[in-house]
């Protein structure tokens, strides 16, 4: 069952660039968990760059950023290096986190229906409780909205 706002997020461990990530190891920090469809695509590149550029402000607000997609760790390593992303990218090929946050949707791509990640962002507070969610995100202005939400927590 997907989690809901104001509910604790179940602890998870996931493979990520730089080693495994466990949610409980981030207690005491706010966590921005953003799901994106695919490495090296235009929207995902733009979103990653915006999170990168505002990363110092997120850190100052006591937040850690985690990007999640179904891409492999190798793809993530290349994407992270190419964009110089200062935060980890989680590889979720089995869609474990995708299912927990209910972000897999049927989408139209070039006129065909395909299963994929709906661009979504979740803000988890320092106690591990989901405080806000954005689904069906459009990239322009989105990262600024997330930063404001994190700073307000």
Domains and CATH numbers, the chain: 13-152 (3.40.30.10)
- Which entry of 44, 63, 143, 147 is annotated as an active-site residue? 44
User: What's the pLDDT tens digit per position in 62-106?
Assistant: 999 999 999 999 999 999 999 999 999 999 999 999 999 999 998
* Burial environment of residue 30 by CB neighbours within 10 A (0 to 12, 13 to 18, 19 or more): buried
Catalytic residue flag (residue 98) = no
In this predicted model, what pLDDT tens digit does every residue of 11-50 receive, in sequence order?
999 999 999 999 999 999 999 999 999 999 988 999 999 9
């Amino acid at each position: 069952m997907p989690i809901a706002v104001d509910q604790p997020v179940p602890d998870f461990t996931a493979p990520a660039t730089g080693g495994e990530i466990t949610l409980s190891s981030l207690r005491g920090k706010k966590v921005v968990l953003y799901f994106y469809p695919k490495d090296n695509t235009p929207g995902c590149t733009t979103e990653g760059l915006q999170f990168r550029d505002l990363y110092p402000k997120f850190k100052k607000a006591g937040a850690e950023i985690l990007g999640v997609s179904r891409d492999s760790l190798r793809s993530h390593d290349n994407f992270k290096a190419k964009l110089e992303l200062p935060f980890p990218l989680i590889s979720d090929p089995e869609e474990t986190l995708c299912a927990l946050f209910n972000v897999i949707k049927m989408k139209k791509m070039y006129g065909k229906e395909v299963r994929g990640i709906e661009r979504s962002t979740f803000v988890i507070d320092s106690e591990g409780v989901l405080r806000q969610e954005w689904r069906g995100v459009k990239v322009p202005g989105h990262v600024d909205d997330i930063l404001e939400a994190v700073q307000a927590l």
